[in-house]
Structure 1
Amino acid sequence: MRDGLDDGAAAGEGPIPDVLDAELCRRLFGSLHRSGQRVKAEQYVRGLLSVRGRKTLRSIAAQFDGASAQQNVHHFIASSPWEWVPVRHALARQAQRALAPQAWVIDSLLIPKAGPHSVGADPQPTPLGTVNGQQAVGTWLTSERAAVPVDWQLRLSARWTVEPLRHRASVPPDAVPGTVEECVRQAVVGLMGVGEMPRLPVVVDVAEADGISIARFLASTGLPFAVRVDAAAPVRIDRSLLPKYGDLLHTAGELSESLPHLRQQVNPGDGRTTAAAIPVSASPSGREAMTLLGECPPGRPAEPRLWLTNFTADRLAPALRLTRLPGVVERDCAEISDGVGLRDFAGRSFPGWHRHITLACVAHLVSAAARRGDVTHINRTTVR
């Protein structure tokens, strides 16, 4: 889980070229039925791009005209009846055209909070101890050069789905308490529902999730995938491909260490590395054939990085290329997303959180295009 400070981040702030033109706004906000909503969406994104420091509703309202600007911004985000999913779908299609992504990357994000009142805030375990905050699962369209967030799931504990918190936070009736694995499954279902998109691999790097469970779910979808798994994840050797080995249950870490003759030198595009591709089954029935990737990069700790994938052993290099993409997400989240207020929403409203983070994703796309010199490309891309 990637974490961050609740007081905002200065990373990525600075003058942003004006690439949020009328045509781009039409593509992104065309699902908003009222012209006033479309204007407010554009103004809100401009506020996220221009306000320095923490992006609060008050600081963003300073970009609006009129004495009731703060009230209008609060209403637009917290209670105005516009749906965020169509905006996210439009954003995904625009990011696909501008970015030519190689995969969807799903990862988790910790958003620390000072108190218990922000929607979804609960004690969250981290390697450094328990932190109060929100846990979200993000879906990013990612290439080797850039990543753009296009969808988010906010994990809710049981206390947020019963009264009085459900009513206070405007949590909808169909929102139920769930695990991180369930959030990841929702994210996969969500990306499969975006129209006019190419069939892309799915990369899941969520330490808090059961990687075996997620890999089985992805296998059922037929999508190409790579899922980061813990060394303790239980797997069996696929004896149809390695008949000389027993069918005892092993941990992924044990298999990676015990079959050194399967290791090979491979260059996935960023230099030579040592990796093994082991055919395994991730279910007791043996019906879910997958490949366990165990990589020991040069100069890294001895413990290998482990992934389950439906790429076969003869496609080791392209599979390893996919495992590099979460690093692009981590970099762009720190350099761009934090600077446009992705973690900054402090309200108690569930719809407000989703609307704010949706517009922060739009701001991320605009900022990424401007900073990486894609201004002309993002504005002249034709709608398919």
Structure 2
Amino acid sequence: MHGVPSPTQLLKDGDASACVSRQYTGTAGKVTNCQVGVSLHLATDRASAAVNWRLFLPQSWDPASGKADPPRVARRERCGIPADLGHVEKWQLALDMVDEARSWGVHIPLVVADAGYGDAAAFRLGLNERGLHYVVGISATLSAQPGSARPSTPPYSGIGRPPVARYSDPAKSAKALVVEAGRNAARPVSWREGSRPGRGRTGFKRMYSRFVALRIRPAGRGVRDATDGVELAECWVLAEWPAREAGPVQFWLSDLPVDTPLTTLVRLAKLRWRIEHDYREMKQALGLAHFEGRTFSGWHHHVTLVSLAHAFCTLRRLARAPKEMAAVRASTRSSASCS
């Protein structure tokens, strides 16, 4: 099972609930009043389930922060927020939950996450320090050196501090490196069944696109690099470049071994779709976003019960015979076409 940390936003009208603040939410597509929960899911190719949660505490709720908001700080006691709880970045909450899950005896060989985590060099370094591989989304602007680049040390004149090893060329964006490789470097990959009817064995079309995989050396702030006298670590950049697009549209970074097949990289990068499916089911069918309590402990109690209900539903689905599942999906498709 792979670990997949992810944030989800819960819209709020008022400002009395624990940790509510004006934050960006993909649910509304803008900055609005909401709570942000960070969850850790365990996922396989067949199923996934949320096993741990943290309620994100914004800086406005942290009395030790320079951005503390006095009215919100004053509500901490009424909301039951522990006195020693301060603002912690989402990527650090994710690492804490991974550590806790591993302390339960859960084996997590690899972590999959979106660019909100992948862009944080400290998050990737934290996974490296824990001996965990990762496949994480990144922004197209993440800076890197080509995999073939090597730092060199300028000659020492004998005056002042000896020079350290540096790369001769400035770092480029991940997108620029992929574009340089060219459209011809993209290879077609099919990674899972979709929801559209098809002629395949199960009656559904498989998901398909074109991908470029290159070896690069991530640079930028927070990365231990040649400016510190250390060579940048080499890893994979994976880019989706659909045939009808002028350029690559999505990017991932992975420290999996150099002999990892392209199909494996794609399958793992695309695994996060299951977490979006989890959120949709928990919000629309199981009441994740319908909690009206105000307290910190009440929120965690609510998301725990919702997660248990979701896990139960998942186990019931997995227990069904393959033929029964195919019949259910065919029935669902037929009903949708008649509605």
State the percentage of identical aligned residues. 24
Q: For residue 322 of structure 1, what is the aligned residue in structure 2? A: 268
What is the deviation of 1:201?
1.0
Which region of structure 1 is more displaced relative to structure 2, 257-266 or 160-169?
A: 257-266
What is the deviation of 1:350?
0.8
Which region of structure 1 is more displaced relative to structure 2, 270-279 or 135-144?
A: 270-279
The normalised TM-score by structure 1 is 0.63
Match of 2:247 among 276, 298, 302: 302
Q: Does 1:172 align with 2:82?
A: yes
Residue deviations 1:34-77, cap 9 Å, x none? xxxxxxxxxxxxxxxxxxxxxxxxxxxxxxxxxxxxxxxxxxxx
Identify, as 1 or 2, the structure richer in strand. 2
For residues 300 and 319 of structure 1, the distance between their equivalents in structure 2, rounded to whole angstroms, comes to 21
Q: What residue ranges of structure 1 are gaps of 5+ in the alignment?
A: 1-100, 377-384
Task: Output the amino acid matched with 1:182.
Answer: Q
Identify, as 1 or 2, the structure richer in helix. 1
Match of 2:13 among 111, 114, 121: 114
What is the deviation of 1:136?
1.6
Q: What residue ranges of structure 2 are gaps of 5+ in the alignment?
A: 64-72, 153-166, 193-207, 322-339
Do the aligned partners of residues 156 and 185 (structure 1) sit closer, same or farther apart at CA in structure 2, a change above 3 Å counting?
Answer: same
Are 1:266 and 1:317, in contact at CA under 8 Å, matched by a contact in 2?
A: no
Do the aligned partners of residues 313 and 333 (structure 1) sit closer, same or farther apart at CA in structure 2, a change above 3 Å counting?
Answer: same
For residues 184 and 104 of structure 2, the distance between their equivalents in structure 1, rounded to whole angstroms, comes to 39
The CA RMSD over aligned residues, in Å, is 2.8
Residue deviations 1:188-238, cap 9 Å, x none? 33333231x234210011537734332222222211111111111122223
The normalised TM-score by structure 2 is 0.71
Are 2:183 and 2:241, in contact at CA under 8 Å, matched by a contact in 1?
A: no
Do the aligned partners of residues 208 and 292 (structure 1) sit closer, same or farther apart at CA in structure 2, a change above 3 Å counting?
Answer: closer
Do the aligned partners of residues 152 and 165 (structure 1) sit closer, same or farther apart at CA in structure 2, a change above 3 Å counting?
Answer: same
> Counterparts of 1:94-133 in structure 2 under 5 Å?
101=1, 103-126=2-25, 128-133=29-34
Do the aligned partners of residues 204 and 257 (structure 1) sit closer, same or farther apart at CA in structure 2, a change above 3 Å counting?
Answer: same
Are 1:201 and 1:224, in contact at CA under 8 Å, matched by a contact in 2?
A: yes
Task: Output the amino acid matched with 2:80.
Answer: S
For residues 216 and 261 of structure 1, the distance between their equivalents in structure 2, rounded to whole angstroms, comes to 31
Are 1:161 and 1:171, in contact at CA under 8 Å, matched by a contact in 2?
A: no
What is the deviation of 1:351?
1.2
What is the deviation of 1:327?
0.8
Match of 1:191 among 80, 101, 104: 101
Task: Output the amino acid matched with 1:279.
Answer: I
Q: Does 1:349 align with 2:295?
A: yes
> Counterparts of 1:230-379 in structure 2 under 5 Å?
230-239=139-148, 247-260=169-182, 263-267=185-189, 269-270=191-192, 271=208, 273-282=210-219, 283=223, 284-285=225-226, 286-298=231-243, 302-315=247-260, 316-370=262-316, 372-374=317-319
Are 1:216 and 1:288, in contact at CA under 8 Å, matched by a contact in 2?
A: no
The answer to which structure, 1 or 2, has the higher relative contact order (CA under 8 A, 6+ apart) is 1
Give the number of the structure whose alpha-carbon radius of gyration is greater: 2
Match of 2:132 among 214, 218, 223: 223
For residues 154 and 145 of structure 1, the distance between their equivalents in structure 2, rounded to whole angstroms, comes to 28
Do the aligned partners of residues 239 and 211 (structure 1) sit closer, same or farther apart at CA in structure 2, a change above 3 Å counting?
Answer: same
Are 1:277 and 1:313, in contact at CA under 8 Å, matched by a contact in 2?
A: no
Task: Output the amino acid matched with 1:289.
Answer: E
Are 2:138 and 2:253, in contact at CA under 8 Å, matched by a contact in 1?
A: yes
Corresponding residue SS for 2:289: coil
Are 1:232 and 1:253, in contact at CA under 8 Å, matched by a contact in 2?
A: yes
For residues 209 and 317 of structure 1, the distance between their equivalents in structure 2, rounded to whole angstroms, comes to 20
Are 2:214 and 2:238, in contact at CA under 8 Å, matched by a contact in 1?
A: yes
Task: Output the amino acid matched with 1:151.
Answer: N
Are 1:111 and 1:134, in contact at CA under 8 Å, matched by a contact in 2?
A: yes
For residues 207 and 265 of structure 1, the distance between their equivalents in structure 2, rounded to whole angstroms, comes to 27
